[in-house]
Amino acid sequence: EKGGYDYFMLKEIAEQPKAVADTLLGRIDLAGNLCLDEVRIPASVLREVSKVVIVACGTAYHAGMIAKYAIEHWTRIPCETELASEFRYRDPILDQRTLVIAISQSGETMDTLMALRHAREQGAKVLAICNTNGSTIPRESDAVLYTHAGPEVAVASTKAFLTQLVACYLVALYLGQVRGTKWGDEILSVIRELSEIATQVEEVLETMEPVRELARTLADKNTVLFLGRHVGFPVALEGALKLKELAYMHAEGFAAGELKHGPIALIEQDVPVVVVVPSPRGRSVLHDKIVSNIQEIRARGARTIVIAERGDETVAPYADHLIEIPATPTLLQPLVATVPLQVFACELATARGNEVDQPRNLAKSVTVE
């Protein structure tokens, strides 16, 4: 049932182009029309939404962090993303005009469930983004948008994460559509690229052998750091989480702009630092800033592993290892930038002799608070 792969995780990483395509299927057309009738929150309610709050845990929380960038940029509705386990204990401000989005692969995560119950008690509307039909979280929500990743067996989430991102992008665009946002050319081209993004995920998968080779050479390291900016920051956090849970290594993700506020003190000779570089088009200011971060850490001895858009000439001179990904619009880059980090963590876990599908101390769904 592993379909010829050694681990479910490898199979699920390979299934990502299909999972992404299936999650988009029938929900978006090339003219940029979103068809999410299945989301049973009336358009009249969505038009009145004054704030979006996203709650989730772990990898799903990282998807939610990325969703915040998309929702605010595309719809101009204020959005915050919060760890579900923290949410209800600080008495958050919620009312009938708050849309709470609960993201959960399993649909059974107790922290997320308790957060959504709290939100509904306060009168907020809850939309679940979930991969498991009929599970508790969608049953207790006002509406659900299912991700179509298919069953995810490996404890570490991979294909569910990519489909959560797709679902978040769809919700953001849908919110814009029902509120009558006039899309400019920028967003129309993002929509076109989103509808074809599975091809790019496939392309990344075809070029992963050097990433596996690199991972094997790092099996005896103690620490790996991850840096990113903008949507690359949650990608860095996700890369670090995968490495912790699978390789049992100390791994930390930082916003690259925070480096100078402390973490740069961690940089020493040969410490591997993975840097997610934003597209040189789009937000080029951020691109240039991250290039100088790479120079700074390299000057202090870091071994730089750089994930950058194919053809980005400016980073190559500072990359000890360059991992190229296809060009995408800035907000969609996590769909391609995360894949090498999944492969990297999986290979490191294998090289360290760990059980890839069943990491120690972890369970696939966490049904206690």
Contacts to ligand F6R from residues 305-334, by CB under 6 A: none
Taking the C-alpha atoms of residue 113 and residue 136, their distance in angstroms, rounded to an integer, is 8
Candidate residues 8, 12, 16, 59; the one interacting with ligand F6R per rule CB under 6 A: 59
User: Which segment (100-108, 192-200, 270-278, 310-318) binds ligand F6R by CB under 6 A?
Assistant: 100-108
Judged by CB under 6 A, does residue 227 bind ligand F6R?
A: no
Taking the C-alpha atoms of residue 238 and residue 70, their distance in angstroms, rounded to an integer, is 18
Instruction: Select 5 or 186, whichever has its Cβ closest to ligand F6R.
Output: 5
Q: Least distance (Å) from ligand F6R to the CB of residue 60? A: 4
Judged by CB under 6 A, does residue 13 bind ligand F6R?
A: no
Q: Which of 134, 165, 207 is nearest to 71 (CA)?
A: 165
Taking the C-alpha atoms of residue 274 and residue 217, their distance in angstroms, rounded to an integer, is 14
Judged by CB under 6 A, does residue 105 bind ligand F6R?
A: yes
Judged by CB under 6 A, does residue 157 bind ligand F6R?
A: yes
Judged by CB under 6 A, does residue 83 bind ligand F6R?
A: no
Task: Tell the burial category of 152 from Cβ atoms under 10 Å away from its Cβ (0-12, 13-18, 19+).
Answer: buried
Residue 139: how many other CB atoms lie within 10 Å: 12
Judged by CB under 6 A, does residue 16 bind ligand F6R?
A: no
Question: Does the annotation count 364 as an active-site position?
Answer: yes
Taking the C-alpha atoms of residue 347 and residue 215, their distance in angstroms, rounded to an integer, is 6
Candidate residues 28, 54, 57, 165; the one interacting with ligand F6R per rule CB under 6 A: 57
Judged by CB under 6 A, does residue 100 bind ligand F6R?
A: no
The torsion angles phi and psi of 207, rounded to 5 degrees, stand at: -115, 30
Report H helices in 126-260. Answer: 136-140, 159-178, 185-195, 197-205, 209-217, 232-247
Judged by CB under 6 A, does residue 200 bind ligand F6R?
A: no
For ligand F6R, the nearest residue by Cβ is 58
Judged by CB under 6 A, does residue 366 bind ligand F6R?
A: yes
**Contact characters 235-274, ligand F6R, x per CB under 6 A:** ------x---x-----------------------------
Q: Which of 276, 275, 274, 254 is nearest to 265 (CA)?
A: 254
Candidate residues 13, 67, 126, 156; the one interacting with ligand F6R per rule CB under 6 A: 156
# residues contacting ligand F6R (CB under 6 A):
15
Residue 264 DSSP one-character state? G
User: Which segment (24-32, 52-60, 210-218, 222-230) binds ligand F6R by CB under 6 A?
Assistant: 52-60
Strand partners, 324: 308
Taking the C-alpha atoms of residue 274 and residue 281, their distance in angstroms, rounded to an integer, is 21
Q: Which of 285, 306, 289 is nearest to 226 (CA)?
A: 306
Residues in touch with ligand F6R (CB under 6 A): 57-60, 104-106, 109, 112, 156-157, 241, 245, 365-366
Q: Which residues are catalytic?
A: 364
